[in-house]
Amino acid sequence: MKKLSVLLVFVMLVSVFCAAAAQEEKSYLERAYEGEFAGTEVIFDGPFVDNDQVFFEESVKPFEEATGIDIVYVGNKDFESTIQMRVEGGNAPDIADFPQPGLLGQLAKKGYMIDVRDVIDEDWLDENYSDAWLDLAMMEGPDGEEMMAGIWARNNGKSQVYYRPDVWAEAGYTVPTTWDEMVALSHQMVEDGETPWCIGIESGSATGWPATDWLEDIMLRTVSPEQYDAWTRGELKFDSPEVRRAIDIMSEIWFTDGFVYGGREAIATTNFGESVKPLFYDVDGCMMHRMGNFITAYFPEGLEPEVDYDVFYLPPIDEEFGKPYLGGGDIYGVFNEKPEVLAAFEFFSHGESLKFWLGQGGALSPHNDADPEWYKDATEAKIAQFIQEADTFRFDGSDLMPSAVGAGTFWKGMTDLVTGADVDTVVAEIDKGW
Amino acid sequence: MAAKSGSLSEQKKSSSFLTHLVLIILCLIWFIPVFGVFVTSFRNSTNVFNSGWWRVFPHQEWQEVNEIKIDADADVNGEIEVTLPNSKTIKGTYESFKNGVNVDGMKIQWYGAKRTRTLKIYEKKWVGFESNLTLDNYRNVLTGKKIQYTGENGETLTRNGSSLGSAFLNSITVTVPATIIPILIAAFAAYGFAWLNFPGRKLFFSMVVAMMVVPLQIAIVPVLSDLSKVNLSGQFLGIWMAHTGFGLPLAIYLLFNYISTIPREILESAFIDGASNFTIFTRLILPLSVPSIASFGIFQFLWVWNDYLVGLVILGGGQKMVITQALANIVGTRGQDWHLLTAGAFVSMIVPLIVFLSLQRYFVRGMMAGSVKG
């Protein structure tokens, strides 16, 4: 008994000592939770509006209530063009959400961003993010040295295909596990009088991006990750056997008669959000739709995940490259070193900052401490699981390429391909953008 | 004589007929899309996404009247024989039935994939006016869409999304001062340039006029950085100043042209009666230049009301969002709710329409003023 109490005293002493040591270097977030910055405001800018804005505001509410810091979200649909103007005009927000890392890279290079490693404990970052995410946050700073320009706050997965398990069961189809099986299944569906695919790439001034996602997914399955990276840097040209092969594989699905709902002509004129709707038609719709997980926002209301719809992993093509996964995401950058801003920023490096949003669907968490239980439904959790288990994870290539290509000739070239241009013209045209 | 005047009136008739025809065509070109938007704004979203707005009106449509089941033992991959309700039999393959077979004014079409084993018979029938028109779009635009989400304990909560309501007030707060301030300054300046003698008058005036060629897109970043330095970015005062600055050159030029045509004698007799410059300005110049002030007022009001860029960059959105930003946001992050734009467009049009209609009688007069000088 005496021994035990000695031990107890010892433990208490140690913990008091540790607490005192921790007191010395408490993080901004811990200080915020103690109420040190109550009554302050953090201006947050981003590209999402409406639904997503509500989800964001609800997600940060617990933080606001616990700390007394008010996170004010201003946001607009033209964020990508206005943020540069506002930053250069000296009117930068405190924290901003960048849907494409390229834009953050430009601002980091001009010296507007704060190096995350200076303001958040590196051990914590290592603990809560996989190396892949941390590497993707490294960008060139103003002095030419690498800096960590932001933290990944939300991501999405794109290498999955949506289908309807009940309809498939009725028709006797099974989920394909290789690309060849998938193509054979598509032929089988045509044979049975079904339309296998729903594809639409119209998206206003961004028309063509869903096509770039398809090509990236195929590239990941036919070249090594290193070659993929070289491709996004412009070192592997579009006019190369690798990319041409990927385009051929894609064309087989996109342009075979009867494979796509509405035919080849409809692909370029169907809005990507509308294109998923035939998947849920009672008859005369389509059977499969490959799209990022954010597409669930366009689904008709009242569907039950795993019953009315489900996902399968877009099958691999060349066995040696395993099971890669394509995704995108939003990275947060910080402009300002005020303590309340850094506290809020640190909060976003915790999975907890996304807990509410995960429960609503349409977002995935890149944080290691996010609980799979938080996801809205099993389908979302399944996609998160796919990403965790993937052999390689690569970021959406068109977002990594300079915007003249990634948001320019690449989009346009793929649209031209769909509307009938031949491959030689298309690859030459895209390469011109570099 | 009579014959001659007859031909003249005939000529007049045919030329006025042509004029009217051109005017009618121009009006239709303008009117039909606006009418389409108007009709669309009352349709529910499912219908907007599935069919064109002209479907609202009575039209003929294929409608299902009957269906035929194919025997379970028939081979759907080969040729199939079916018996119609009027005991006629027709033959065809899946492909031919899928494209539809027309018999006796009926269309026989395969329903879904082969495995349904069902043919449906359609007849053309008249469909009346679309009955499920709704004001939902307007409600969503004015008060925000109901956004549903799941609370902590699994309960369903709702919150309203972006709406035009508060943006409407913001736009008025921005627009009214941003119209009045430049008019006041410009009227003083125009009077000075037209009637006061001071050294460098011509030089200053040419500088002001030269400002008109500077595009606002070039000036906006420097303006923003200056406003940030004095903590006016994101403030209504800041955007009033910006709009005033961007509007002034044209305002001064327009008002100068008008004020300088006021007969010298009127001003001289006022001087002789002992009026000061200020009295002349307030008692003579201002009342006399109402037409040109009103026409510039319309210009400036419409420009500021419809402005997106300056509002976005200087006010920045959030609580101080102007109506054009709210319209852009209302379609959602990925543009999934574009059908709301139809109602939004009409709501945001109301105020400029009122302003234009109430001031339009000055408009042509004001624009012409000073354009022909003797």
pLDDT digits (tens, 9 = 90+) for B92-116: 888 888 888 888 888 888 888 888 8
Percent of chain B at pLDDT exceeding 90: 33
Q: Is A203 on the interface with B (CB under 8 A)?
A: yes
Pairing of strands A41-46, A310-313: unpaired
Task: Decide: residue B317, CB within 10 A, 0-12 exposed, 13-18 middle, 19+ buried.
Answer: buried
pLDDT band at B1 (very low <50, low <70, confident <90, very high): very low
Instruction: Check CB contact under 8 Å for B116 and A283.
Output: yes
Q: Is A52 on the interface with B (CB under 8 A)?
A: yes
Measure in Å the smallest separation between the Cα of B314 and chain A Cα atoms. 8
pLDDT at residue A382, rounded to an integer = 93
What's the CA gap between B4 and B302, in Å, rounded? 50
pLDDT at residue A188, rounded to an integer = 95
Q: Are residues B111 and B233 both part of a single domain?
A: no
Q: Is A16 on the interface with B (CB under 8 A)?
A: no
Q: Average per-residue pLDDT in chain A?
A: 90
Which residue from B minimizes the CA distance to A278?
B50
pLDDT at residue A51, rounded to an integer = 82
pLDDT at residue B128, rounded to an integer = 85
Which residue from B minimizes the CA distance to A73?
B318
For residue B147, give the nearest of A51, A192, A282 by CB distance. A51
Measure in Å the smallest separation between the Cα of A191 and chain B Cα atoms. 9
Q: Which A residues 373-432 touch B at CB under 8 Å?
A: 376
Phi, psi of A33 (to 5 degrees): -65, -20
Instruction: Check CB contact under 8 Å for A53 and B233.
Output: no
Q: Work out the angle at residue B233's Cα, subtended by the Cα atoms of residues B227 and B235, and round it to the nearest 5 degrees.
A: 125
Q: Do domains A28-155+328-380 and A160-327+395-431 have the same CATH topology?
A: yes
Residue-range definition of the domain harbouring residue B15: 2-40
- In sequence order, what are the beta bridge partners of A205? A203
For residue B161, give the nearest of A50, A274, A376 by CB distance. A50
Handedness of CA A423, A425, A430, A434 (dihedral sign): positive
Q: Is B111 on the interface with A (CB under 8 A)?
A: yes
Segment among A36-50, A75-89, A272-286 with least mean pLDDT: A75-89
pTM of the complete model: 0.81
The amino acid occupying position A400 is L
Q: Are A344 and A95 in contact (CB under 8 A)?
A: yes
List CB contacts (< 8 A) between A283 and chain B. Answer: 111-113, 116
Question: How many Cβ pairs within 8 Å bridge chains A and B?
Answer: 125
Q: Is A297 on the interface with B (CB under 8 A)?
A: yes
Q: Are A221 and A179 in contact (CB under 8 A)?
A: yes
- For the cut 70, the answer to whether the pLDDT of residue A38 exceeds it is yes
- For the cut 60, the answer to whether the pLDDT of residue A49 exceeds it is yes
Measure in Å the smallest separation between the Cα of B135 and chain A Cα atoms. 20
Mutate to test the interface with A, among B143, B149, B153, B309 (most CBs of A within 10 A): B149
What's the CA gap between A217 and A159, in Å, rounded? 7
Per-residue pLDDT averaged across A25-38, rounded? 90
Q: Are residues B169 and B223 both part of a single domain?
A: yes
List chain A domain ranges: 28-155+328-380, 160-327+395-431
Q: Is B92 on the interface with A (CB under 8 A)?
A: no
CB proximity list for B200: less than 8 A, separation 6 or greater: none
Tens of pLDDT, residues A168-216: 999 999 999 999 999 999 999 999 999 999 999 998 778 999 999 999 9
Percent of chain A at pLDDT exceeding 90: 73
A117: nearest Cα among A126, A104, A107, A130: A126
List CB contacts (< 8 A) between B331 and chain A. Answer: 50, 77
List CB contacts (< 8 A) between B114 and chain A. Answer: 192-193
What top-level class would CATH report for the domain A160-327+395-431? alpha beta
Tens of pLDDT, residues A270-294: 989 889 999 999 888 999 999 999 8
Measure in Å the smallest separation between the Cα of B56 and chain A Cα atoms. 21
Instruction: Check CB contact under 8 Å for A85 and B220.
Output: yes
Q: Is residue B139 part of a domain?
A: no
Q: Work out the angle at residue A49's Cα, subtended by the Cα atoms of residues A43 and A54, and round it to the nearest 5 degrees.
A: 80
Measure in Å the smallest separation between the Cα of A245 and chain B Cα atoms. 31
Q: Are B340 and B140 in contact (CB under 8 A)?
A: yes
Per-residue pLDDT averaged across A364-393, rounded? 91
Tens of pLDDT, residues B282-294: 988 888 888 889 8
Q: Is residue B266 part of a domain?
A: yes
Q: Are residues B77 and B223 both part of a single domain?
A: no
pLDDT at residue A6, rounded to an integer = 61
Q: Are residues B180 and B303 both part of a single domain?
A: yes
Which residue from B minimizes the CA distance to A49?
B333
Q: Are residues B18 and B112 both part of a single domain?
A: no
Mutate to test the interface with A, among B47, B96, B334 (most CBs of A within 10 A): B334
Tens of pLDDT, residues B260-280: 888 888 888 888 988 888 999
Measure in Å the smallest separation between the Cα of B248 and chain A Cα atoms. 22
Q: Is residue B32 part of a domain?
A: yes
Q: Average per-residue pLDDT in chain B?
A: 87
Instruction: Check CB contact under 8 Å for A282 and B337.
Output: no
Q: Are A287 and A197 in contact (CB under 8 A)?
A: yes
Per-residue pLDDT averaged across B71-75, rounded? 82
Q: Are A104 and A113 in contact (CB under 8 A)?
A: yes
Which residue from A minimizes the CA distance to B221?
A89
- For the cut 50, the answer to whether the pLDDT of residue B248 exceeds it is yes
Q: Which B residues 241-300 touch A at CB under 8 Å?
A: none
pLDDT at residue B192, rounded to an integer = 93
pLDDT at residue B86, rounded to an integer = 82
Which residue from B minimizes the CA distance to A270?
B49
Q: Is residue B206 part of a domain?
A: yes
Q: Is residue B194 part of a domain?
A: yes
- Nearest 10 degrees: CA dihedral of A411, A417, A421, A424? 90
| Sheet-wide strand order for A310-313 | A289-290, A160-163, A310-313
What's the CA gap between B135 and B141, in Å, rounded? 10
Q: Which B residues 304-363 touch A at CB under 8 Å?
A: 312-313, 316-319, 321, 325, 328-337
**Tally of domains in chain B:** 3
List CB contacts (< 8 A) between B228 and chain A. Answer: 89-91
Per-residue pLDDT averaged across A331-347, rounded? 95
CATH number of the domain that residue B182 is part of: 1.10.3720.10
Highest mean pLDDT among A81-85, B104-108, B254-258: B254-258
Instruction: Check CB contact under 8 Å for B329 and A73.
Output: no
Q: Answer left, alpha or beta for residue B243, where phi above 0 means left and psi between -120 and 50 means alpha.
A: alpha
Phi, psi of A73 (to 5 degrees): -95, 120
Domain A28-155+328-380 carries which CATH code? 3.40.190.10
pLDDT at residue B318, rounded to an integer = 78
- For the cut 50, the answer to whether the pLDDT of residue B338 exceeds it is yes
- For the cut 80, the answer to whether the pLDDT of residue A408 exceeds it is yes
Instruction: Check CB contact under 8 Å for B233 and A89.
Output: yes
The structure tokens listed for A114 are 């704060």
Q: Are A379 and A308 in contact (CB under 8 A)?
A: no
pLDDT at residue A93, rounded to an integer = 92
Q: Are residues B174 and B91 both part of a single domain?
A: no
For residue A283, give the nearest of B112, B328, B331 by CB distance. B112
Q: Are residues B6 and B123 both part of a single domain?
A: no
Phi, psi of B84 (to 5 degrees): -80, 165
Q: Are residues B92 and B20 both part of a single domain?
A: no
Tens of pLDDT, residues B16-55: 899 999 999 999 999 999 999 999 999 988 888 888 899 8
Per-residue pLDDT averaged across A212-238, rounded? 95
Q: Is A302 on the interface with B (CB under 8 A)?
A: no
Tens of pLDDT, residues B144-182: 878 878 777 777 778 777 778 888 899 999 999 999 999
Measure in Å the smallest separation between the Cα of A237 and chain B Cα atoms. 31
pLDDT at residue B364, rounded to an integer = 67
For residue B122, CA distances in Å to A331, B92, B102 come to 54, 17, 9
Q: Is B145 on the interface with A (CB under 8 A)?
A: yes
What's the CA gap between B209 and B207, in Å, rounded? 5
Q: Are residues B287 and B215 both part of a single domain?
A: yes
- For the cut 70, the answer to whether the pLDDT of residue A235 exceeds it is yes
Q: Are residues B6 and B91 both part of a single domain?
A: no
What's the CA gap between A364 and A311, in Å, rounded? 15
Q: Are residues B22 and B67 both part of a single domain?
A: no
pLDDT at residue A395, rounded to an integer = 92
List CB contacts (< 8 A) between B332 and chain A. Answer: 49-52, 297
Instruction: Check CB contact under 8 Å for B114 and A273.
Output: no
Q: Are residues B116 and B216 both part of a single domain?
A: no
What are B104-108's contacts with CB under 8 Å, separation 24+?
B106/B65, B107/B62, B108/B68, B108/B82, B108/B84
Q: Is residue B252 part of a domain?
A: yes
List CB contacts (< 8 A) between B239 and chain A. Answer: none
Instruction: Check CB contact under 8 Å for B312 and A78.
Output: yes
Q: Is B149 on the interface with A (CB under 8 A)?
A: yes
Q: Work out the angle at residue A292's Cα, subtended by the Cα atoms of residues A404 and A391, and round it to the nearest 5 degrees.
A: 95
Q: Is B49 on the interface with A (CB under 8 A)?
A: yes
Measure in Å the smallest separation between the Cα of B110 and chain A Cα atoms. 10
pLDDT at residue B374, rounded to an integer = 41
- For the cut 90, the answer to whether the pLDDT of residue A417 exceeds it is yes
Instruction: Give the HSE-up count for residue B5: Cα atoms under 13 Å, Cβ half-sphere.
Output: 2
Task: For residue B92, give the H/E element and its range.
Answer: strand B89-92
What is the 3 state secondary structure string of chain A?
Answer: CHHHHHHHHHHHHHHHHHHHHHHHCCCHHHHHHCCCCCCCEEEEEECCCCHHHHHHHHHHHHHHHHHCCEEEEEECCCHHHHHHHHHHCCCCCCEEEECCHHHHHHHHHCCCCCCHHHHCCHHHHHHHCCHHHHHHHEEECCCCCEEECCEEEEEEECCEEEECHHHHHHHCCCCCCCHHHHHHHHHHHHHCCCCCECCCCEECECCCHHHHHHHHHHHHHHCCHHHHHHHHHCCCCCCCHHHHHHHHHHHHHHHCCCCECCCHHHHHHCEHHHHCHHHHCCCCCCCEEECCHHHHHHCCCCCCECCCEEEEECCCCCHHHCCEEEEEEEEEEECCCCHHHHHHHHHCCCHHHHHHHHHHCCCECCCCCCCHHHCCCHHHHHHHHHHHHCCEEEECHHHHCCHHHHHHHHHHHHHHHHCCCCHHHHHHHHHCCC
A374-391 burial, b at 16+ Cβ within 10 Å, e below that, comes to bbbeebbbbbbebbeebe
The structure tokens listed for B82 are 């079916």
List CB contacts (< 8 A) between B64 and chain A. Answer: none
List CB contacts (< 8 A) between A112 and chain B. Answer: none
pLDDT band at B14 (very low <50, low <70, confident <90, very high): confident
